[in-house]
Chain A
Amino acid sequence: MIQGVQIELISADRLTNLTTMEKIRTILDSVMLGNIVVLEHGLTPDEQSMLVEVTMREIRPGGFSGIEMETYPGKEAESGGVFGRLFKGKKPRQGRMTVIGPAGQLKMLKIERDRLVAWASLTSGG
């Protein structure tokens, strides 16, 4: 039997229509099954913060041990003076392509400003 890792690519359109918790559940439920999820556009900073918090609550000793999440480093923070800062909330910063997988099963070999090299094992703990 051929063994492999399931890779789920989620489009920006699909994510846009989900609430924060729906996005997080979509990602975590898939990763907890051992899949690797690739988001066309990543999560906003607040969503990433929630993802970490929910991931921590799902960790079980001897079972799910968390996630590996990588994206390209962002560009310098925009600076728009006082008015830019006041109204920046109208347009939340959009994340960049992001890959998320089970900890111990997905490893990043190389992270550069515009390039990620990842390695995935067929079994966890590798």
Chain B
Amino acid sequence: MSMFAQAKKRFSKFFQNIFRRKRSRIGIYGPPNAGKTTLANRIVRDCSGDAIGPVSEIPHETRRARRRENVIITGANGNTLSLDIVDTPGVTTKIDYHEFLEYGLEQDEAISRAREATEGVAEAMHWLREDIHGVIYVMDSTLDPFMQVNIMMVGIIESRDLPVVIVANKTDLPDAAPSRIKSAFPQHPVISLSGLEGTNMEELYDMMTEHFR
């Protein structure tokens, strides 16, 4: 891309941010089984009384990006914001159908799930490059935050100048250590919560109304 084209793109983004688009599209990203759909369901239920998709302990339950339009977020600070929430398939660099056999799936079902999952991950990456205005990045706080997928995804999000809120999820589990995530990504706001139990959601909504305006 030429210098002129790059400068034009940056100026366009700058003015878009100043004059604000009608409604931002916020992608919920993260590795498989971080609790993205559980969190998306919690947000959408809290704000519209509905759900966005099914959840499962088998990885790659979400194999298509799902969008819920016009979700009204209200922070405890009184700010409100209308967003489109996009729940995306878990991002990974590898998918082996044998992994699904361990969860009791038949071979045909496991192969089909693997095929759909690969398409889903490719689709999620495409959404991030083309159609997302902000990101809620979800990590499992019982796991090492320095997983390559986290480092890579946060790098991609930063390079695209997208506002991001990191969620240290699953704080209901005994070995949760959200402080590791906070120290791994000190340059971004990190909210510790349990999407499953709905704890600390108010802090997330406050942060969303501040970051995604």
Question: Does chain B have a CB within 8 A of A48?
Answer: yes
Question: Does chain B have a CB within 8 A of A26?
Answer: no
Total inter-chain residue pairs, C-beta < 8 Å: 108
Complex alpha-carbon distance, A118 and B36, angstroms: 29
Interface residues, chain A, with chain B CB atoms under 8 Å away: 44-46, 48-50, 52-53, 55-57, 59, 61-62, 65-71, 73-74, 76-77, 79, 82, 85-90, 92-93, 103-104, 108, 111-112
The reply to whether B94 and A45 contact each other, CB–CB distance below 8 Å, is no
The reply to whether A77 and B94 contact each other, CB–CB distance below 8 Å, is no
Complex alpha-carbon distance, A73 and B146, angstroms: 7
- Chain B positions 81 through 114: 1 when the CB is less than 8 Å from some CB of chain A, otherwise 0: 0000000000111111100000000000001001
The reply to whether A57 and B146 contact each other, CB–CB distance below 8 Å, is no
Among residues of A, the one whose C-beta sits closest to the C-beta of B152 is A48
Residues of B within 8 A of A52 (CB): 91, 93, 121-122, 125, 152
Question: Does chain A have a CB within 8 A of B158?
Answer: yes
**Measured between C-beta atoms, what is the minimum distance from B2 to chain A in Å?**
11
Pick out which of these stretches binds chain A: B7-15, B173-181, B200-208. B7-15
- Chain B positions 11 through 37: 1 when the CB is less than 8 Å from some CB of chain A, otherwise 0: 100100000000000000000000000
